[in-house]
Structure 1
Amino acid sequence: MGARERWTCTETADAPTSKRDDTLSDDKPSAESNLSLAADFPAAGHDQWLRLVDKVLAGAPFEKKLLSRTYDGLGIQPLYTRADWNAAGDPSGLPGGVPFTRGGRVLGTSVDGWDIRQSHRHPDPTTVNTEILNDLERGVASIVLVVDPNGENGTAVRTAHDLDRALQGVQLDLAPVVLQATGASLAASVLLMNLLDQRRVKAFAGNFGLDVLGELAVSGKLAADVETELARMADAAAHVAAIFPKARAVNIRTVVFHSAGAADAQELGCAMASGVEYLRVMTAAGLDIDSACGQIAFTAAVDADFFMSIAKVRALRKLWSRVAEACGAGLENRTAPITACSAPRMMSKRDPWVNVLRTTVACFAAGVAGADAITVLPFDAAIGLPGDLGRRIARNTQIVLQEESSLARVVDPAGGAWMFERLTDELAEKAWAFFQEIEKQGGMAKALAVGFVAGEIAKVHAERAKNIGKRKDVITGVSEFPNIHEATFAAVRAAATRPARPSGAVPPLPVPGKGKFTAALAKAAAGGANIAALMKACSGTKPATLGNPLPNLRLAEGFEQLRDASDEFKATYGGWPAIFLANIGTVADFTGRAAFAKNFFEAGGIEAIPGAGGAEVAAIVQDFKGSAASFAVLCGTDALYAGPGAAIAKALKDAGAAVVYLAGRGGDQEAALRAAGVDEFIFIGCDAKAILTSAHQRLAAGR
């Protein structure tokens, strides 16, 4: 009996039943024999549902009201049926089978769970060691060590001794380490190789973190020209394959494209293009295709877009399987380990506690999608160095989902769901098309050099930024429901470090090939050469540079800059910039728009001072003067705007309001209201960021 028969229950009487049904007594009547609830209701079809929906929409277009679109142009339907995805022939296969959409292993994560992987970047090696051991003792299974020789954006690993201190007490054969060292990846790798050799660790199953094209994309430079750097990476892959058969040399971090604003299909397309480029150079250097595929892993971003994050991880497996198959790889080498990492771009500095919700959703999506490892960013990661609380919540988020909810014990819970299967297929098609566009440029390296990748990503980012500015894309706690009075979260800061200087001799290095270059670097490191000396030895006469490297963006940055300006205003003048809510009429008349206006302006750091209400112009003006606010906004009904609204606007302007806003659209009264003194109308869909930026500019000009 096959796996499919053992675990699939069917409605036919003679079909094999699930093994889990053995607990049911044979003499108990089945629910189906006693209950026929469906028969009591008339049959309903999709067309009938559409007619009912049209009736509710009352003429409004279905596509506008109920159909949403991703930044890749994929339509998200409100309802999916079997007509949306043809399951005939099992197009997604089974877990552990081609095309690996449903997972790279037959049992998925159901046996041991996914790998709980924590990222560490404290500049001090001793401090980071304490943090690493604390995590490993409390449920973390592997770590990402972010290395920066200067200690600015990672652990200051300058020498072999520094790396030994950072990993002191870590059982490297049991707790895999993934290196991330932009600008020093090869040098950091050979230091780790030496450490593994000194500790006589052969069963190392980590990743040395080489990603030449990702490094070029985000930093805009390489130590040497692209061809040389790729050849060195291929050399390192050959060395790793020979010395550390359980490890991988390459980690394609699609996070760098996601952080630049890429849509999901663009992120996946870049992953495929990078992977193909790496396979080409590795096979050209002498590795067979199976060994080359065995040197590649992926780290993809998952965010609070639950549905698309699930589809992305599943599509990544499907796409890489297709690439590996086309390149001639054997069945066992058509999958690559996938680490799903909380997307840095979704993290906010303001109201950082909301990040706990964002990362939980992302982690749940990654677990449902069958990621091999998951990294949850601490909620305070965008503010500074993560603190103990941030790391603990990040760690325990995974433990709760894995152990208490038993999420890891279900093999591909998204499998067969019409929505996820269709989204996976559509996303894979879009990603493949973008991959082909990159190939038309001559491959990933050339596409980066001519600015094609950066240009295409910038288009999507511009569209997204526009939607964020209009609050169509909501950032909870920042652009919507801000708490202007929130306590400042104390960021963990590290002491300044000095730049790394070369120390130790590095003899002339051989031409890359069959691991000789990497072995020579490792020998120099063993002889005392520090990371700066190794990096200097790798420097070429014509280092690669990009005129337009990818930016590192966060979605909340625009509104947070306004909040920062507000804090500076408060530090200078003793209070936040303020706007007076000129409430008109009764509580029932103004509450809705007053709440909207408060939310609107406090998203930009402008404190809302509520008025008492009423329709007496003099009383409202008196309240405004008592508020000491620079601005005023009328809040009431359209009928009240048509009545005393114009008089109130004029009186507020005469009383010194630098700008008078009105909550709502002017409608037929817009011209009269503007003539009376209303400067701006705020409403759902207006460009909130532009209006708030203008308000801050007026504040700066008026002081």
Structure 2
Amino acid sequence: MSELSSEEAWRRAVLSGLKGAPFEKLVATSAEAIPIEPLYLPKDAVGLTPRGEPGALPFARGARPPGSGPFMVAARVEAHEPVERIREELASGAEAIWLSTDGVPNEAMAKAIAVALGDGALFLDGGTRALAVHEALSSAGISSLSALFDPIGSPPDAPGTDAFARAAARVKAGGSKGRALSVDAAGVHEAGGHAALEIGFALASLAELVRRLEGHGVAPKDTLATTAVRLTAGTLHLEAIAKLRALRLAYAKLTTAIGVSDPPPPFVVGHVSRRAQSRADAPTNFLRATLETFGLAVGGADVIVPRAFDDVLEAHSDLGRRAARSTELVLRDESHLGAVADPAGGSYFIEALTEKLARSGWEEMRTIEREGGVVASLASGAFATRVSRAKDALLADVRKRKRVLVGTSDFAALGEKLAPASAEAVHGAFSPVRPASVYEAVRERAAALKSPTAVLVRLGGGDVRAREEFAQRFFETGGLVVRAVEGTDAPAFVGAYPGAVFVLVGTDERYAEVAVSMTRGLLAAGATAVALAGKPGEIEADLRTAGLTAAAFVGCDVPAVLTDVLSAIAGGSR
């Protein structure tokens, strides 16, 4: 059967299943405004930029040639933790340490770190003090040491210091096997940005570094060879794979544009993000982190920095740390994700998305360049405005549950008490956002009311099991205890559940018959709040006049509805 007839047969079957709904219902749109089709075929891979081979230009298929080894696991260690933690992580399978610190270690501490590190590699997350930390640690004899100094996002905190001059001096000094500089596109993701913004920011930052350091006597090729790009994956693992491939593809185009022949491959440090984490049902973060690790590994990150499932919590656990590290090791060494170069290569969807993300990222870079370069764009707020728009769109989707956070915005863990959160880390010029926090705030408000209750009032009229299940999960998301009654005896219901919110559940036809009168009856009997499961439709005005507090339906602003309900319960309990 030819491809065309196969596609036609598939479309006929799909249209039959849609039962009159338009085919376009199956076409999704990414955060970058890229259409995501329900089916990809060989024709979707026609006319794409040649991919080359792994380890060769244009690097789309990976920066490392086959047989050069898998990605490196860099365990996360905080400066306040005992030095022994470094030794434990390396003994447990990590090859490197990602050390987060905002202080410069003294000579004794630097030597202790060097002894614990042994032959392991050290990557610094030193913020504005990265160069000072690097100097202290290199003096202790650590050879594989990456300063990862970011003169754009985290310039030195000393007044009057030329960040780019210091970056150039660090590159010229050499002396270690690591990467001296970095550009932090991970901060764009953590602030709510999408893949095109991350790629564009990374490219514009690399272009800025090349220009500025060339003015201080550093050749463009040398700047690229000593700079790492920091990225995060996100839980959309297929997009993460395409994002890393797209970054490398666009990087190759950038090197051509700036006149670097035979450029070094980009060195990507992939982070499991904090943005995806939630304090609600925190162990579910483990699943999200696994998806992110998979995306980074298959996408070809050179180093992957894990994140414990309870990193978002004030109290971290050894279990969380061990699970984070073990996930990467199992995926790499037992699932063999590190043994195959570009395993997603050739997928029509991945190849098409790689091309579109590379083009979108390139256009973002051009926009930043028209704004005077990345430093000028950050100073004017132009780039931050675009990131803010992406963040607002992300939060709107989360609030409407177009993006579901399992255990947080749906399928809540009943009776769970949220643990305190750890402090959010700022990434250079970007303030982080965690979409789960809007639901966490609702849950904490419910906890303050001491077991608020939602009573589902089954009005009958037909099979409403799907609507009832929707309503139950909806209000459990807000931390309410859900009960159910049947009938229209409003005084009896209110007497049995004083202070509760009563949620009408029935068919649309039944709502037209009794929803308005039932709302009035419940409120007259002393109910503090009445809600409707489903869209009010034509009777919305009458329901609002009768005193309806809120309506819960697919596509509504879930935290806003839950907040209105909890406010009504709180007001009635005074």
Shorter-chain TM-score category?
Answer: over 0.9
Counterparts of residues 191-590 of structure 1 (less than 5 Å): 191-196=136-141, 201=142, 204-215=143-154, 222-224=157-159, 228-240=162-174, 243-244=175-176, 246-331=177-262, 333-384=263-314, 386-486=316-416, 488=418, 549-567=429-447, 569-570=448-449, 575-585=450-460, 589-590=463-464
Q: Match of 1:177?
A: 122
% identical equivalent positions: 30
Aligned amino acid, residue 282 of structure 1: L
Counterpart of 2:485 in 1: which secondary structure? Answer: coil
1:690 is the counterpart of 2:564: no
Q: CA deviation at 1:443?
A: 0.7
Distance in 1 (alpha carbons) for counterparts of 2:252 and 2:345: 17
Counterparts of residues 125-144 of structure 1 (less than 5 Å): 127=82, 129-144=83-98
Distance in 2 (alpha carbons) for counterparts of 1:324 and 1:584: 67
1:603 is the counterpart of 2:477: yes
Q: CA deviation at 1:487?
A: 5.4
Aligned amino acid, residue 61 of structure 1: P
- Going from structure 1 to structure 2, the CA distance change for 1:168 and 1:492 (only over 3 Å counts) comes to farther
Instruction: State whether residues 293 and 329 of structure 1, in contact with CA within 8 Å, keep that contact through their aligned partners in structure 2.
Output: no
1:667 is the counterpart of 2:537: yes
Q: Which of 106, 112, 118 matches 1:165?
A: 112
Q: CA deviation at 1:699?
A: 4.5
Q: Match of 1:44?
A: 5
- Going from structure 1 to structure 2, the CA distance change for 1:349 and 1:42 (only over 3 Å counts) comes to closer
Q: CA deviation at 1:448?
A: 0.4
1:591 is the counterpart of 2:479: no
Q: Match of 2:21?
A: 60
Instruction: State whether residues 213 and 274 of structure 1, in contact with CA within 8 Å, keep that contact through their aligned partners in structure 2.
Output: yes
Distance in 2 (alpha carbons) for counterparts of 1:143 and 1:263: 28
Counterpart of 2:228 in 1: which secondary structure? Answer: strand
CA deviation vs aligned residue, 1:589-613 (integer Å, no higher than 9, x gap): 44322321222122222x1331232
CA deviation vs aligned residue, 1:523-560 (integer Å, no higher than 9, x gap): xxxxxxxxxxxxxxxxxxxxxxx9x9422111211111
Distance in 1 (alpha carbons) for counterparts of 2:567 and 2:412: 21
- Going from structure 1 to structure 2, the CA distance change for 1:644 and 1:132 (only over 3 Å counts) comes to same
Q: Which stretches of structure 1, 4 residues or longer, exceed 6 Å deviation after superposition?
A: 490-493
Instruction: State whether residues 67 and 76 of structure 1, in contact with CA within 8 Å, keep that contact through their aligned partners in structure 2.
Output: yes
- Going from structure 1 to structure 2, the CA distance change for 1:602 and 1:167 (only over 3 Å counts) comes to farther
- Going from structure 1 to structure 2, the CA distance change for 1:693 and 1:673 (only over 3 Å counts) comes to closer
Counterparts of residues 647-658 of structure 1 (less than 5 Å): 647-658=517-528
CA deviation vs aligned residue, 1:400-441 (integer Å, no higher than 9, x gap): 111221121112111111111111110000000000110111
Greater Rg by CA: 1
Q: Which of 98, 101, 113 matches 1:147?
A: 101
Aligned amino acid, residue 661 of structure 1: A
- Going from structure 1 to structure 2, the CA distance change for 1:253 and 1:646 (only over 3 Å counts) comes to same
Residues matched between the structures, number: 570
Instruction: State whether residues 55 and 265 of structure 2, in contact with CA within 8 Å, keep that contact through their aligned partners in structure 1.
Output: no
Q: CA deviation at 1:62?
A: 2.2
Distance in 2 (alpha carbons) for counterparts of 1:49 and 1:492: 50
Q: CA deviation at 1:253?
A: 2.0
Instruction: State whether residues 134 and 145 of structure 2, in contact with CA within 8 Å, keep that contact through their aligned partners in structure 1.
Output: no
Instruction: State whether residues 580 and 629 of structure 1, in contact with CA within 8 Å, keep that contact through their aligned partners in structure 2.
Output: no
Counterpart of 1:432 in 2: which secondary structure? Answer: helix
Unaligned runs of 5+ in 2: none
Q: Match of 2:42?
A: 82
Distance in 2 (alpha carbons) for counterparts of 1:443 and 1:222: 22
Instruction: State whether residues 499 and 569 of structure 2, in contact with CA within 8 Å, keep that contact through their aligned partners in structure 1.
Output: no
Distance in 1 (alpha carbons) for counterparts of 2:519 and 2:370: 59
Q: What TM-score, normalized to structure 1?
A: 0.77
Distance in 2 (alpha carbons) for counterparts of 1:458 and 1:492: 23
CA deviation vs aligned residue, 1:620-668 (integer Å, no higher than 9, x gap): 5423332233321111222332334333222211122222101012234
Counterpart of 1:581 in 2: which secondary structure? Answer: strand
CA deviation vs aligned residue, 1:322-354 (integer Å, no higher than 9, x gap): 2223323342x3312112111111111111111
Counterpart of 1:565 in 2: which secondary structure? Answer: helix
Counterpart of 2:245 in 1: which secondary structure? Answer: helix
Q: Which of 70, 95, 118 matches 2:54?
A: 95
Distance in 2 (alpha carbons) for counterparts of 1:307 and 1:562: 31
Instruction: State whether residues 580 and 624 of structure 1, in contact with CA within 8 Å, keep that contact through their aligned partners in structure 2.
Output: no
Q: Which of 479, 482, 485 matches 1:612?
A: 485
Distance in 1 (alpha carbons) for counterparts of 2:509 and 2:553: 16
Counterpart of 2:238 in 1: which secondary structure? Answer: helix
Counterpart of 2:165 in 1: which secondary structure? Answer: helix
Q: CA deviation at 1:488?
A: 5.0
- Going from structure 1 to structure 2, the CA distance change for 1:671 and 1:289 (only over 3 Å counts) comes to closer
Counterpart of 2:147 in 1: which secondary structure? Answer: strand
Q: CA deviation at 1:670?
A: 3.2
Distance in 2 (alpha carbons) for counterparts of 1:132 and 1:250: 23
Aligned amino acid, residue 446 of structure 2: S
Q: CA deviation at 1:477?
A: 0.8
Q: CA deviation at 1:84?
A: 0.6
Q: CA deviation at 1:193?
A: 2.1
Counterpart of 1:651 in 2: which secondary structure? Answer: helix
Q: Match of 1:641?
A: 511
Instruction: State whether residues 455 and 483 of structure 2, in contact with CA within 8 Å, keep that contact through their aligned partners in structure 1.
Output: yes
Aligned amino acid, residue 640 of structure 1: R
Q: CA deviation at 1:489?
A: 5.2
Distance in 1 (alpha carbons) for counterparts of 2:539 and 2:410: 28
Q: CA deviation at 1:382?
A: 0.8
Distance in 2 (alpha carbons) for counterparts of 1:389 and 1:491: 18
Distance in 2 (alpha carbons) for counterparts of 1:42 and 1:224: 65
Q: Which of 114, 137, 148 matches 2:71?
A: 114
Counterpart of 1:362 in 2: which secondary structure? Answer: helix
Q: CA deviation at 1:122?
A: 5.1
CA deviation vs aligned residue, 1:150-195 (integer Å, no higher than 9, x gap): xxxxxxx542333333444211xx3110000123222212112212
Instruction: State whether residues 582 and 633 of structure 1, in contact with CA within 8 Å, keep that contact through their aligned partners in structure 2.
Output: yes
Distance in 2 (alpha carbons) for counterparts of 1:186 and 1:625: 68
- Going from structure 1 to structure 2, the CA distance change for 1:697 and 1:158 (only over 3 Å counts) comes to farther
- Going from structure 1 to structure 2, the CA distance change for 1:167 and 1:624 (only over 3 Å counts) comes to farther
Instruction: State whether residues 153 and 429 of structure 2, in contact with CA within 8 Å, keep that contact through their aligned partners in structure 1.
Output: no
User: Once superposed, what is the RMSD of the aligned Cα atoms?
Assistant: 2.5
Query: For structure 1, which segment, 390-399 or 52-61, has the greater mean C-alpha deviation from structure 2 after superposition?
Result: 52-61
Distance in 2 (alpha carbons) for counterparts of 1:388 and 1:252: 31
Distance in 1 (alpha carbons) for counterparts of 2:460 and 2:491: 14
Instruction: State whether residues 320 and 334 of structure 1, in contact with CA within 8 Å, keep that contact through their aligned partners in structure 2.
Output: no
Aligned amino acid, residue 508 of structure 2: D
Unaligned runs of 5+ in 1: 1-37, 150-156, 494-545
Q: CA deviation at 1:456?
A: 0.8
Instruction: State whether residues 61 and 342 of structure 2, in contact with CA within 8 Å, keep that contact through their aligned partners in structure 1.
Output: yes
Distance in 2 (alpha carbons) for counterparts of 1:564 and 1:688: 15
Q: CA deviation at 1:43?
A: 7.9
